[in-house]
Amino acid sequence: MNRTSDRALILGTALTQTIGWGTLFIPFALMVQPMEAALGWSRAEINGAFTLGILLSGILAIPVGRWVDRHGGQAPLAWGSVLGSAMLALWAITDQLWLFYLIWIGLGVAHATALWGPAMAVVVALAKQPMRVITAITFVTGFAGTIFVPLVAALIAGFGWRGALWILAVVQLLPAATAWWQFAGTPPRTTHQARDSEEAYRRTLRRPAFWGLALCFAAHAFIGVALGAHLVPLLREAGLPEASVILLVALHGPLQVAARGGLYIAGPRASTRWVGLGAMLLLPIALLWLGGAPASFLWLLPFVLCWAVADGLLTIVRAAGTAEILGREGYGAVTGALSLIAVLPRTLGPITVALIWQADGGYGAVPWILAAVGFLGAASFVLALRDKD
């Protein structure tokens, strides 16, 4: 099998991204309480390091994207994975807060180089059918949490949080080896190709379609992170039984994966333009339903269904739709710029909703405000579609 055939891209990228997210991102939430107990650090201090890493990964998105456009993805994907492994090993032995912050600076660099953005830039550059390949990859990576949350919890229970990090550090070397092998021998980009990519990037920044997509993806990021942080207490405040709260939240993952599976089956018949528009309209509809539906499990099922389908499809639209609407040239830098613009909304989402909750004395206004943000995102996506450059 050709190392860069569509099938090889699906297998290799799905493996590196599932493991990458499972070792470099997902474990943090499970490490907070054991670290609090062992080291005496406050939850705010620990989360501050994580926030710093996420912000740095967004800032680095453009330079990393430019590197991929000019030189290919082998070096950032492979060496970023090695860096991630080293940072996990260093995390396992740290007992100083300043060192923990330095570790998360390193992990921010690893996120920017080894995770989603560079991987999708490589797929878009090499795949014959980018949307189908990206859909298949996201179908697999959608199970990252399903696999790694119980795995990391079991490792912590069996080996302690430090032992779990040592094991994860070893596992994270597999994506490095996979990326290095898969893209070995890929022809380097010529100076002419690199120059064309840079010119395409600068030209794209001047297009209304770019700013339409930027606002759309920023709105989606704001809503997604805000809901992720506050949905459980919101449902509890509404008076749902605890079992119903947990089940409604847990259904998001499987329904998201099912939506991606349906898109994969549709194949080339599905245009990411119209898939994206449908998903961006479905998102505020879901939030309006959340705001107006009675507080019962059956009544809130349509909210979870619409939210999960929109969320699952928009992950694909961010990667494949950007290439379809803005073109493949300069894709790495363009998607880096889109990611950078979404960093601030993603960071502000949870704290903004917390302030609304505090000012209003509850979550009553939150679904309506998020729905308004969703409609703004949908209007921005329409702006992107209307650009005929």
- DSSP secondary structure letters along 76-141: HHHHHHHHHHHHHHHHHH---HHHHHHHHHHHHHHHHHHSHHHHHHHHHHH-SSHHHHHHHHHHHH
DSSP 13-75: HHHHHHHHHHHHTTHHHHHHHHHHHHH---HHHHHHHHHHHHHHHHHTHHHHHHHHHHH-SHH
What local confidence, expressed as pLDDT, does residue 83 receive? 96
What local confidence, expressed as pLDDT, does residue 252 receive? 83
Structure tokens at 201: 């990037």
CA distance 172 to 179: 12
* pLDDT tens column, 149-177: 888 889 999 999 999 999 999 999 999 99
Write down how long the chain is: 389
CB 17 within 8 A of CB 137: yes
Other residues' Cβ atoms within 10 Å of the Cβ of residue 172: 26
Kindly list the distances between the CA atom of residue 133 and the CA atoms of 142, 319, 321, in Å, as whole numbers in the listed order: 14, 11, 13
Sequence letter at residue 361: G
With a cut of 70, list the residues of the chain below it in pLDDT: 1-3, 184-197, 267-268, 388-389
What local confidence, expressed as pLDDT, does residue 193 receive? 57
CATH 1.20.1250.20 residue ranges in the chain?
6-189, 208-386
Q: Under CATH, which number does the domain 208-386 receive? A: 1.20.1250.20
Nearest Cα residue to 10 out of 145, 168, 115, 131: 131
CB 120 within 8 A of CB 73: no
* pLDDT tens column, 122-136: 888 888 888 788 888
- 196 Cβ contact partners less than 8 Å away, ≥ 6 residues apart: 329
* Yes or no: domain 6-189 corresponds to CATH 3.40.50.1100: no
Nearest Cα residue to 217 out of 316, 130, 136, 131: 316
What local confidence, expressed as pLDDT, does residue 147 receive? 84
What local confidence, expressed as pLDDT, does residue 271 receive? 77
What local confidence, expressed as pLDDT, does residue 1 receive? 54
Please state the pTM of the whole predicted model: 0.80
CB 277 within 8 A of CB 381: yes
